[in-house]
Amino acid sequence: MTTQTIAATPRPDIRKLRLADLGAVLAAGWRDFVRAPLFGLFFSFFYVVCGLVLVLAGAGTIEWTLVLSLGFPLVAPFAAVGLYEVSRRLERGEPLGWGSVLGVVWRERGRQTPWIGAILVLVFLFWSFFAHMSFALFLGHMPLTNITTSFDALYSFNGIAMIAFQVIVGLGVTYLVFTMTVVSLPFLLDREVDFVTAMLVSMRAVRANQGPLLAWAAIIAVTVLTAMIPLFLGLFLALPVLGHATWHLYRRTLSFPG
């Protein structure tokens, strides 16, 4: 009886990025979206529906917090993988088909991508706990107020301090998630590598390219926030372009021997 051994992926080198590379990857992301728009619209549909559900049904209850905390990060990486797979096939000149692309996304459930989703679940749960804890810490001793109908408590000294505290911690958490995932998800799709190694390589890439990759994080934040203004409908355009662009950013950032 013989066993098949899968060769480990060589440790990649980190290329130095320039700000001009960000414009190049955005242009490449736009080209991929234009060449295969239905795939982009399909994979962004989940994010748009999630946003609309939050607005229409109303967030803030513990039930919605748990549903979104557990569901969103488990599914979101697979939607991103679909966009990466489309860009990978376009880059290699391989045919695009719903069966082949969705088949790759489906197979990812048995690889390393679900572990990224599990880590994001933990981060989301931490953030939910932190939000409730900080509210109790800063405003718990004040008269009971419904902040969804009255913002007086938030305009107080403690309210402003709570918001500042949440923003500072939120930026730290966002930075951590960004550094762990900016190239790790396309890396996991493209190569045979475990999720811990992929995240460490992603963090190493951010350390080596602090300026350009922090600028990339800012581009993502501003673009997504702007796209959310018209009832989240702008995400149908923003998310596919950013997803495809992330694939090209990964390809520019990591260099493999041979």
Instruction: Using pLDDT thresholds of 50, 70 and 90, give the confidence band for residue 155.
Output: low
- 3: which DSSP letter? -
The residue among 162 and 252 whose pLDDT is bigger is 252
Where b means 16+ CB within 10 Å and e means fewer, 187-217 reads bbbbbebebebbbebbbbbbeebeebbeebb
Mean of pLDDT over the chain:
79
What is the pLDDT confidence band of residue 70, given thresholds at 50, 70 and 90? very low
Q: Which residue has the higher pLDDT, 76 or 222?
A: 222
**Given this model, what pLDDT does residue 189 score?**
86
Q: Where are the domains of the chain?
A: 16-255
Closest CA to 80 of 251, 246, 248, 254: 246
User: What pTM value is reported for the model?
Assistant: 0.79
What number is the average pLDDT over the span 237-252? 93
State which of 2-11, 52-61, 109-118, 168-177 shows the largest mean pLDDT: 168-177
pLDDT tops 50 at residue 2: no
